[in-house]
Structure 1
């Protein structure tokens, strides 16, 4: 799940900050608030996914390609 969560963090950050402009780059408070809220949501989703399916989607793809 670690690789999946890392990739999701990068993609969501780019989507919300760079492409859609939903989160405006600001000070430290904005960064920490975004990171904390994202962390809470992703830990909950990642925990549910791991209990239900085991490996994350990125880990499955990595194992399929790399063996």
Structure 2
């Protein structure tokens, strides 16, 4: 299942949704207009690390408050 999610067409479909929704920056403060170049540069390494189960996501906003 994760292989389908990580296909380039699905990643860029998700990207277009975020752009269309004018998504807010995450904990990394990356703005939507910076996302495309980040994905272009880091997509392969990120997908590889997810598939190899070595990817470690950053904390989500509000996670500390939930503890």
Q: Which has the higher helix share?
A: 1
TM-score by length of 1: 0.39
TM-score by length of 2: 0.39
Greater radius of gyration (CA): 1
